[in-house]
Amino acid sequence: MADEAQTRLLELQMADLKASYGIAEDAPRSTTNNDRSENSRKIAALYEDAAEYEEELETFEKELEIVQNNEVKDIVNSLVETFPDYEGDYAKELKAVLEAYWTQFVEVDKTHPEEELEQIKSLEPSEYNDQLSTKVKSALIKRWEMLVSIKKEHVAEERAEMKLRGMKPDHIRKVYRKYHGLEV
């Protein structure tokens, strides 16, 4: 009973307030879409870097899954199938990464034999022996895990910066997604 009386009192006070400002009882609520406003644009701009890092993180996580779930000889084809719009050349890039890794292993760390480096330089991944394929896959998994870890750190840093500014990162992300039409 007390709740009903309290609610009724608040309704009467709101009606008096509306009357004192000349607002009609049945006035329509604002239907303006603020998703594309100047203020939304400014807030969305704060999330640009974080959104880019999140997109890269998502890609790296998918690539890591492909590397983990495929044989070395099949990794390039799986990457090309999964990311057909990718502008680079996965085969060349993978070869360059492996050559750089094994050069580091052989010449600097001195943990791998010189023959492995020569095989990586001269053979295609489908021609690697089982032992080398296992080492290559392990190295590639470590590389992609490192990339995922770095991107997660970047996203966390961006979110921390937003918090330092006194803003809520989840709200900024929501405004960003609405402003760019990624969320309804």
Q: What is the pLDDT of residues 136-173, one digit of tens each?
A: 999 999 999 999 999 999 999 999 999 998 889 999 99
Strand ranges inside 38-144, DSSP E: none
pLDDT tens, position by position, 26-83: 655 554 556 678 888 888 888 999 999 999 999 999 999 999 999 999 999 999 999 9
Higher pLDDT, 128 or 28: 128
User: d(Cα 145, Cα 94) in Å, to the nearest integer?
Assistant: 15
Q: Can you tell me which residue has the tokens 């990624």?
A: 182
- Other beta carbons within 10 angstroms of residue 53's beta carbon come to 20
pLDDT tens, position by position, 58-67: 999 999 999 9
Token output for 165: 């500014």
- Quote the pTM value: 0.74
Q: What pLDDT, on the 0 to 100 scale, is given for residue 28? A: 57
User: d(Cα 127, Cα 107) in Å, to the nearest integer?
Assistant: 23
79 Cα distance to chain centroid = 18
H helices of the chain, in order, are 2-20, 38-45, 48-69, 72-82, 90-103, 114-122, 130-164, 169-179
Q: What pLDDT, on the 0 to 100 scale, is given for residue 25? A: 62
What are the extents of the domains in the chain? 34-179
Q: Which pLDDT band, with edges at 50, 70 and 90, does 184 fall under? A: low
133 Cα distance to chain centroid = 30
The amino acid at 145: E
